[in-house]
Structures are given as structure tokens and as C-alpha cells.
A = this chain, B = another copy of it.
Amino acid sequence: MSKTNPGNFFEDFSMGQVIEHATPRTVSRGDVAVYQAVFGPRFAVQSSGQFAEAIGYRQAPIDDLLTFHIVFGKTVPDISLNAIANLGYADCRFLRAVYPGDTLKSVSEVIGLRENSNGKSGVVYVRSSGTNQAGETVLDYVRWVMVRKRDQAAEVGDSVVPDLPNSVPVEVLGAALPKLDLAAYDFTLAGAAHRWGDYKAGEKIDHVDGVTVEEAEHQMATRLYQNTAKAHFNAHAMKEGQFGARLIYGGHVISMARALSFNGLANAFHIAAINGGRHVAPCFAGDTIYAWSEVLAAEPLPGRDDVGGLRLRTIATKDLPCADFPDKLDEKAYADGVLLDLDYWALIPR
């Protein structure tokens, strides 16, 4: 029997199945530096240990999305090696700050399975979580992917589609954020004066800047997370595919849009939850990513007077500046050039 991992096919998954993923990974300031070099984030809390410690962290935490990518990357060889498409995310909550020196691992539970009517594939729903070396959960999220069947004739069980929330309720946000000493939060050093109360539902912010992505950059970032999806790395095989080129990991666009969003959201330094996300179109090397955000809601956090929640939609585009806020056209279609529609909660000082 082959010793190489063929990945799981649709009929290999079963309801309630728990998969512990390889490879555990100790995060370091080296990872933070590579992430910095690829995306250029400027949020003060993650950039400065002194700033983070002053407001209540024990040191500068790593970027929330770096945690997400590392936890996600580990699930790829078991969950999505034979995926046709990554369909969605839901109920993604950041539960604990991650610091350099922490060791992360990931586990997934199959919570839904639905065969497609063509009998060739099916949708697998997994709840994945990342834990640190103390066994504490740092991140928990649901994703669903369309996975090929190995054998079309294989019998599969009844369809189970999990009930997923449209958004993470504000009541559960903030677990990863220490109580902030706001008196020590220096808004000048953080880059902007805007606090929670300055943002209103309906407000739209053009993040202005655009950044071009290079093959070496997205490959280096995606390997940093030990994500092995061949679509991102193998130009020889992808040449024969639908697009004729390597596809950039969707999370790369998320991280770039997040870094760009500093310009307008400088104090919204922590992502507390991702309500959902859609990769509207593929991104390729050479594309220039722009982004804009809409404030969907500004909600207080029960029991906390230090920070409030901003529910944001961040839209990323390619080769399309966002002064006119290119958006969804209807339930299904988006304006040309839109890459990403991400719905999430960020926390920001009050």
C-alpha cells in the first residue's frame, strides 16, 4: 500500500469523525517577520511589544489571520486535498491570543455530509479548531468544501446539513482580548484617532492603497502555514487547468485586504470572529489588490467598556480601485474585479 497521502475522498468521511491533523507548529517571531514582509500590517498591538504590554497583553500577539492560516493549513492534507471548491466559512471565533513560542495543532470534526446529485462529489462540513501547547482552544470555525468521490458507485449515508449561524453573536466576542488599559493606548502611535463610537452602520471606507502580489510572495506565505494545496504551488500541473496558472490561496487575499484596511480602521486591531466569507473570483500573481469596507454594525460588548465590536464587510478587488465601492450586484453576482466578500467582527477601543 502506498505510503503517500492520497487525501480523503467524499466517501471516506463519516458523521462525527474526528481527525487530528499533522504537523504541530511552534510559532516564532520569525514567522511574524515573514508575515510582515509579505503583507505589511501596521496595527500597533501586533507590531510593538511595548505597545501591547502597556495595554494589557503579556507580549505582542501574532496577527489573528496568521493564527487562522496556520490552523487552516494543517487541515488541508486531510480535508481538502481532493476538494473541487472551498465553499464557505461560518462561526469562526478567535478564542485566545497566540504568542510567539506557542505550539499550535488542529483537529476537525465532520459535522455535515451531503452528496451532490451528480454522484461524483459531495459537500463535507467540518468544525476545525486550533489548540495551543496547553490544550487551550485558540480558534474554532466551520468550513465546507466540495470533495470528489473516489468511486462514483460508493454508497454514502443520508445527507446531514448542519445549522450554521449567519453571524457570530456579539455576546461571545472578546475572549482572546485581555481587558485593555485604555489610558495606556496611544492613539497617535496607533495611527488614527478613531474609536468605536466614531464608526456608524452603513459607513463605507475606501482603503485607497493597492498592492500587487508576486508568485514568490504567495508561495512563501502559504508554505509558511504548511498549506500543501497543489493549486498554489505547481505551475506545471496548473498550466493544464482551467485557469492555466497557479491560484493564490484565498487566505492570501484576506490577509492583504486586512493589511490594507489599516488605512481607515487603524484601531480595529483584533479580529474577534469571521461570520462568513466568499471568494468571488480567483486571484493570480500580478493582480493588484485593493479593498474597501462597510460597517454593518457597531455593537457594544456585553460586560466590557474598553472595546466595542464593529461588524465589517471587507471587499477586495483586483486591478480596481475602490473609490466607488464595487459591490455585489444581486444575490449571486458581483461587480467585475471583486475577489472577496468577507464578513467579520473587529474589536476597537471605545
List residues of A whose CB falls within 8 A of some B CB.
2-5, 20, 22-26, 28-34, 36-40, 42-44, 47-51, 60, 77, 101, 103, 105, 133, 188-192, 194, 198, 205-212, 214-217, 219-221, 223-224, 226, 228, 230, 233-237, 246, 263-266, 286, 288, 319, 321
Contact = CB atoms under 8 A, between A and B. Distances in A.
A95 to B, nearest CB: 19
Contact of A214 (B39, B216, B234, B266): B216
B47 A24 contact: yes
A236 B319 contact: yes
A24 B37 CA distance: 16
Contacts of A205: 2-4
Most B CB contacts (10 A, CB to CB) among A133, A221, A234 go to A234
B28 A43 contact: no
A89 B51 CA distance: 30
Which DSSP category, helix, strand, loop or mixed, fits chain A's interface? Answer: mixed
Interface centre among A212, A228, A266 (most CB of B within 10 A): A212
A22 B188 contact: yes
Contacts of A208: 4
A211 B233 contact: yes
B37 A105 contact: no
A189 B22 CA distance: 4
Contacts of A233: 209-212
Contacts of A50: 24, 26, 103, 133
A47 B73 CA distance: 14
Contact of A264 (B4, B32, B212): B4
Given A42-B22, A47-B24, A217-B219, A209 B236 contact: no
B23 A28 contact: no
Contacts of A28: 29-30, 32-33
A40 B33 CA distance: 16
Residue of A3, A36, A191, A265 most packed against chain B (CB within 10 A): A3
